[in-house]
Amino acid sequence: MGPRMNLEELESHFRFGDNWRSYARTITQGHIDRAVAGLRELVADDCEDRTFLDIGCGSGIHSLAASILGAKVTAIDIDPASVEATRSVLTAHGFPEVVPRQASVFDLNPATFGQLDIVYSWGVLHHTGDMWRAVSKAADLVRPGGRLVLALYDKTPCCGFWRAEKAWYTNASEARQRQARAFYVMLFRLKCLLTGQSFSKSVASYESNRGMDYYHDLHDWMGGYPYQSARPLEVREFLQARGFRQTVFLPSGVRIGMFGSGCSQYTFVRDAPAS
């Protein structure tokens, strides 16, 4: 048996950056408008002149949304392809002054990096290889009175299956990955048929959420390795113990997880120390 792979290193991860670079080329004004609306819901429309850290910037659409809302954005990602995608999206939409950089959340230290008004990581920290340490590192970067905004996969009875599937998919050939996605879509179409739902309406409804794209997200879901998940109560208790109080909670609504776990969304405020 060879040496154990370090799940915190880029080499062990699914190629998220290639997927988000592809998605970035398809971003429309409609996608941007929905991303802005989603961010407003989580930060109470309070981005103007706030320092904003986007951990795991991906395609760059969330950094763009924060910039549009007037935030002073810093964007990082462990994957250089995501850094490239974010730079191109921000430049194309009038924010060339925001220069994303390659970094891991595990590299960030408040003593040298500083603390910010809003630390944002949407659908990222559960892919770092050590989710709870990543959440703790992100929390450390929030100034007293600032916000921590997260989206994390909910724990479901099917999480063990999906963890194994993702490990396989990440190392599978492109042809095998296409076959796996086609099989998933076939099963989802069948589920829609049996439950009287419209597949096309389900996809359209999905794409209205935060400016995402169903087929890019499907590739991301099936290959999203490393993979961890958490119950909302676990997240709340973990951050309460670190001096945070929850102000926004948007549950995923996913319970069984047969077709994948959903992300619950959270906003926490870091309590200022007593004077």
Q: Are residues 21 and 151 in the same domain?
A: yes
Q: Are residues 264 and 201 in the same domain?
A: no
The CA R_g of the chain, rounded to the nearest whole Å, is: 18
Q: Are residues 135 and 215 in the same domain?
A: no
Q: Using an 8 Å Cβ cutoff, are 204 and 214 in contact?
A: no
Q: Are residues 136 and 53 in the same domain?
A: yes
* Structural domains of the chain, count: 2
pLDDT in tens, 242-268: 999 999 999 999 999 999 999 999 999
Q: Measuring CA to CA, how many Å separate 161 from each of 89, 131, 217, 263? A: 35, 18, 19, 17
Q: Are residues 77 and 197 in the same domain?
A: no
Q: Are residues 146 and 202 in the same domain?
A: no
CA dihedral 85, 42, 241, 53 (to 10 degrees): 30
pLDDT for residue 39 is more than 50: yes
Q: Using an 8 Å Cβ cutoff, are 209 and 38 in contact?
A: yes
Strands (E), the chain: 51-55, 72-77, 101-102, 116-122, 142-153, 244-250, 263-270
Q: Are residues 232 and 214 in the same domain?
A: no
Q: Are residues 41 and 26 in the same domain?
A: yes
CA–CA gap between residue 136 and residue 105 (Å, rounded):
10
Residue 245 lies in a domain: yes
Question: What is the pLDDT, as a whole number, of residue 202?
Answer: 84
The model's pTM is 0.93
pLDDT in tens, 156-190: 999 999 999 999 999 999 999 999 999 999 999 99
SS3 269: strand
Report the CATH number that the domain containing residue 87 is assigned in CATH. 3.40.50.150
Q: Using an 8 Å Cβ cutoff, are 39 and 64 in contact?
A: no
Q: Are residues 111 and 201 in the same domain?
A: no
